[in-house]
Structure 1
Amino acid sequence: MSYLTSDPNQTENIDPIIRPPYFFISGFIDIPHMKYYYIFLCFVYIMSLVGNTFVMMVIYMDNSLHSPKCIAVFNLAFTDVCGSTAMVPKLLDTFLFSRQLISYNQCLASLFFIFLFLNMQSFNLIILSYDRLVAICYPLRYHMIVTHRSMFQLTGAAWAFAVFLVFLAVFFITRLSFCRSLVINSYFCDHGPLFRLAAPCSDVVPNIVISYLNPCLMLYFPMVFIISSYICITHALVTITLPQDRVRGLKTCTSHLILVAIFYLPINITYLLHPIIPTNARIFNLSLTLVLPPMLNPFVYVLKTEEFKESAKKLLSKRRAQRAVVLNQST
């Protein structure tokens, strides 16, 4: 398929970059009863919105949670809401209503926002790991090191770096010509399947470099940092003489460790087994990897963190009391 004019007199004014009006998202191929899976994703999305909105509301309304650590937790909940919203509604619209054509600009916008919030989920886990590292290894200096200002600076730097990485990926996509197939073998405008469509017509070496660079900076560097920080944390806990203090210090890390396992283990397994698993299995695993952590994160923090449980109980009790007063006044 070609989008170039056939008039030889206009060849000098032709833009050498061929940008198609649309792409076709193939998604899952020949899998029966997939509509039930999409309904499940709808449920997951609603739970993600409710859970993460509740976490943000609790942090906002309870002054005792206005701590530097809770800035990172609030940012994680906000990122989870935005990431789920960037992916799930469009995925449902695409496949439940058979709207698999997506315009060129919409495709790039979808790629940008999905990868932006995916990167930020990873960077938020680094920030929370840094918080735990300082809290356990340098407890007497914690409030001097981890301040509101330093946490805002870390969070702002993470957002800026994530935007830069994804902008770079999108920029090099815009330099490609798509002169043959327009079928994206994924359930959204995924970076890898997208730039491979241009391989017969363009130099995709910069895109290949970015496809390796982004996982290194988004997955492997954060994992190395988190593992290193927990080696230091383990060493610090071992040096604590009182067993109860050791257990208390370990408990403060459990919620973060669960978040790390939920996010990194499935996505790394998918990437490592990518060459040997079928396309449908890879797409299915990756879709779950991207939508389940935002749903589970708020439950982990509310159920595993005492300060959040207490704040949530106070907030719910206050709401019940206000509702009771309103009912009494109305009667």
Structure 2
Amino acid sequence: MSPVNSAFFINGTVTSILRPDFFYVNGFAGIPNAKYYYIFFCFVYALTLVGNTFVMFVIYTDQCLHSPKYVAVFNLALSDICGSTAVIPQMIDTFLFKSHLIPFEACLTNMFFVFWFLHMQSFTITLLSYDRFVAICLPLRYNEIVTNKSMLVITAILWMLAGAVILIAVGFLTTLSFCDSNVIESYFCDHGPVVRLACNDNTPSIMMNWTCPVLILWFPVLFIMGTYICITRALFKIAASERLKAMKTCTSHLILVSVFYLPLCFSFALATIIHQNARILNMLLANALPPMLNPIIYSLKTEEFRESIKKLYRRKKMHITASNK
């Protein structure tokens, strides 16, 4: 604790904001063979960068993919790259190179970007469910309702909404005093563990700690469930051949939903039951694995995307053949 800050702690009463110069990130303490986890997450991060960059490149270069659905997919790939970059390199530096101390301001900055991109991943998956809902339930009005412009506007609003919510949550932390411990029991500057270290009134921060999971998890999950209830009802009203085709268009999105939300639901539901180390590892896997798997899911499960990859490969092959002549 800074000596200047400590001077304001008199007779057990906090008379000013007390901030530590550094926080100590303690996440992997006590986890056996932790170095192997770091190697694994380095591999995950490399695949995430390559896979999502490839997805963005294919969407950008193929005019056939310049559609509202792929505006959202492009945004998901971007938020996946940013989210992984906010978490994994900092984690590797913290634990592999023993840089456990992180300055107060750097901690809040890291927290802002981790949660901002995590919210955007959730919002974008929710946006894709809206796209599937309109395409299947209102097919004749799809081109009127869902356009590239409307998708870009919605995406921009979601970026600003997520940023504003996280900025408020992080801003409240600057009003907290930290009189005792500065040890964060997580693998990054996690909001909840930081709030629990405060020694003054942290009610606004606790409220935000409950609000963010609602925005990132419960509201999106309920919205997606609602859209798929409507989609299921609509599928029963169409011919069997058309029903199968429509169901195939939802497959990749449903896998995305499962990969992203199930680990988060598990982490939040069992947060107070499972061991702290198990919770930390599960949350890290929930943050790191979906961004790596999303490009694989879209490459294997989406017919339009597979066709675009084939066209890109044929074009490259023709270019090489022409160059050799």
CA distance in 1, matches of 2:197, 2:76: 34
Match of 1:252 among 249, 253, 273: 249
Supply the distance in 1 between the matched residues of 2:101 and 2:6 (Cα, whole angstroms).
Answer: 26
Deviations for 1:195-220, whole angstroms, at most 9, x for unmatched residues?
Answer: 1111xx21011111111111111110
The Cα of 1:178 is off from its aligned counterpart by: 1.1
Task: Find the counterpart in structure 1 of residue 143 from structure 2.
Answer: 143
Cα pair distance change 1:3/1:306, threshold 3 Å:
same
Letter in 2 for 1:303: L
Residue 222 of structure 1 aligns with an amino acid whose one-letter code is P
Deviations 1:254-297 (A, max 9, x none): 10000000000011011101111000000000000000000000
**Aligned match of 2:298:** 301
Deviation string, structure 1 residues 137-179 (Cα, Å, up to 9, x no partner):
0001100000111111110111111001100110001111111
2:278 alignment partner, one of 277, 281, 305? 281
In the alignment, which of 261, 270, 274 is matched to residue 258 of structure 2? 261
Identical columns (%): 55
Deviations 1:112-136 (A, max 9, x none): 0000000000000111010000000
**5+ long unaligned stretches in structure 2:** 9-13
Distance of 1:139 and 1:7 partners within structure 2: 67
Q: Which residue of 1 aligns with 2:177?
A: 177
5 Å-filtered alignment, 1:1-331, equals 1=1, 3-4=3-4, 16-198=16-198, 201-240=199-238, 242-326=239-323, 328=324
Shift of 1:322: 2.2
The code of the aligned residue for 1:83 comes to: G
State the secondary structure of the residue aligned to 2:4: coil
Aligned length: 320
* Range moving further from structure 2, 87-96 or 315-324: 315-324
Structure 1 alignment gaps of length 5 or more = 9-13
Cα RMSD (Å) of the superposition? 1.5
| 8 Å CA contact 1:25, 1:183 repeated in 2 | yes
2:265 and 2:112 map into 1 onto residues whose CA distance is: 21
TM-superposed deviation, 1:317: 2.3
- Counterparts of 1:31 and 1:214, CA distance in 2: 28
Distance change >3 Å, CA 6–CA 112, structure 1 → 2? closer
Q: 1:206 to 1:5 in 2, by over 3 A?
A: closer
Would the alpha carbon gap of residues 320 and 214 (structure 1) be closer, same or farther in structure 2, given more than 3 Å must change? Answer: same
Between the aligned partners of 1:5 and 1:312, the Cα distance in structure 2 is 58
Offset, 1:20 = 1.4
Letter in 1 for 2:154: L
TM-score by length of 1: 0.94
Does the residue aligned with 1:276 lie in a helix, a strand or coil? coil
Query: Is the partner of 2:3 in helix, strand or coil?
Result: coil
- In the alignment, the residues of structure 2 paired with residue 22 and residue 279 of structure 1 have an alpha-carbon distance, to the nearest angstrom, of 22
- CA 1:6–1:255: 2 relative to 1, 3 Å: closer
